[in-house]
A and B are shown apart, each in its own frame.
Chain A
Amino acid sequence: MNVNIVLSLVAVVVLGALAFLGGSAPALQGVFGILIPYIAFVMFLGGFIWRIMKWAKSPVPFRIPTTCGQQKSLSWIKHDKIENPTTGIGVVIRMALEILTFRSLFRNTKAKIIGDRISYELELWLWLFALVFHYSFLAVLVRHMRFFLEPVPVCITFLEAVDGFFQIGLPIVLMSGVLLFAAVAFLFLRRIATPTLRYASLAADYFPLFLIMTIAGTGMYMRYFLRVDVVAVKELTMGLATLHPSIPANIDPFLFVHLFLVCVLFVYFPFSKLMHAGGIFFSPTRNMANNSRIKRHINPWNPDLPFVTYEKYENAFREKMIEAGIPVEKES
């Protein structure tokens, strides 16, 4: 058994158990229901901004035009305006496609040896499940705003209506939660099923997967099986959102498992690979226009040296050059 998998799984189970024990003890409900969520919020927002500012300070001396299309060239060569943009608008379109549709992931290929030669195939499963994962997570997150906003805006009730479009069972099965769980399970199975990928996976890869899997699982368990008192849950969350926190009397202790693991995710987020959410905006190969041939980009930390032409050089060393027999352009 892989030590990275076991360690991450144990970490999630221990954290969940801790939250359940804490949530079951009335004296500790204030810690798990009020104190930790506020700490998690501050650490998430503060950590996120700190990480962004740290990246923003990195110097970007020149353009890194790693592109997938024809550069702007002669008028009769077709320029690929999105894959190899020369303008800010082109970059915005390229970034938007990258962030909203994961274009780089779409180009993912798999190398295989067939007979005696290597062959590359398109491998779209990762792209597909990554899309499902991110969009269903977004839907789940936005849907949860019903617990933090009062009155609940129409757009959120509308999203929930679309999410429960198939009207399966009561409480209605919401697709995004099921899809989130399925996608995160796929991303985990993909890591353990491919030997090369398993070799390259660390605890930092498995931990967020187990964490999100458990968050989705506990959420669905509370909605469909345990059916916790939603009004009590909203009382707690509205207390947090209105800065008048209190612990409702009939809150289900199991809620604290879900809530605490979400807090763990929020605290973990800015200090882990999950920061690709902010980092994608700083991808140097994606966010810079390839205009090196149009505009001169000068390295900002170049020392300010005087520019010496050959003429000046020869004027300074003419006698010595003639003495040494080096040819000169002007004899005197």
Chain B
Amino acid sequence: MKDKGKIIAGVAIFAALVSFPFWYNTGTAKPAPELILAPEAKAAVTCILPKDQMAKEHMQLLDGWRNSVVREGQRVYVAEDGKKYDMSLSNTCLECHTNKADFCDKCHDYAAVNPYCWDCHVNPKEK
């Protein structure tokens, strides 16, 4: 082992990189965020889709809404129970979910998801 110093330095750097998450988080528990439903959302009781489906599909639903509104000019969404909704993030979704910071952002921040909805849309409560 003529290059002992170099090899040990390399191995040390490798071990530090591989174990990075362990010392970055410094061993403290970091629990998942708890969603807070706004009073308006609690009062409405039902969303446009069942809760599980909304959790899984809201991004695709909104993507579909955007294409429908922008490309086809069609802005009416008919829910499974026949109820009609205006396809609008700011006016329909945020009407009940008035607390963007405690509802949308909590999970998005935790999972490091950066939706580009807010590049164009505003949260009416934050104007």
Tell me the A residues contacting B by CB distance below 8 Å. 41, 44-45, 48-49, 52-53, 56-57, 60, 145-146, 148-150, 152, 156-157, 160-161, 167, 169-171, 227, 229-232, 234-235, 238-239, 241-244, 248, 278, 281
B1-47 with Cβ < 8 A to chain A: 1-4, 7, 10-11, 14-15, 18-22, 24-25, 27-33
| Majority secondary structure of chain B interface residues (helix, strand, loop or mixed) | helix
Q: Across the interface, do B7 and A56 meet the contact criterion of CB distance under 8 Å?
A: yes
Which one of B11, B25, B31, B63 lies within 8 Å of A241 (CB-CB)? B25
Cross-chain pairs A/B with CB under 8 angstroms, 27 sampled: A44-B18, A49-B15, A52-B11, A56-B1, A56-B3, A145-B20, A146-B112, A150-B30, A150-B110, A156-B112, A160-B114, A170-B59, A170-B62, A170-B63, A170-B115, A171-B113, A227-B57, A230-B111, A234-B32, A234-B110, A234-B111, A238-B25, A241-B21, A242-B25, A242-B27, A244-B27, A244-B29
Which one of A41, A156, A169 lies within 8 Å of B63 (CB-CB)? A169
Q: Across the interface, do A152 and B112 meet the contact criterion of CB distance under 8 Å?
A: yes
Tell me the B residues contacting A by CB distance below 8 Å. 1-4, 7, 10-11, 14-15, 18-22, 24-25, 27-33, 55-57, 59-60, 62-63, 107, 110-116
A229 to chain B, nearest CB (A): 7
Which one of A157, A235, A281 lies within 8 Å of B112 (CB-CB)? A157
Which one of B24, B27, B31, B57 lies within 8 Å of A243 (CB-CB)? B27
Q: Across the interface, do B18 and A149 meet the contact criterion of CB distance under 8 Å?
A: no
Cα(A57)–Cα(B3), bound, Å: 10
| A170-B62, A230-B113 known; A243+B22 contact, CB < 8 A | yes
Q: Across the interface, do B32 and A48 meet the contact criterion of CB distance under 8 Å?
A: no
| A149-B24, A170-B60, A171-B59 known; A242+B112 contact, CB < 8 A | no
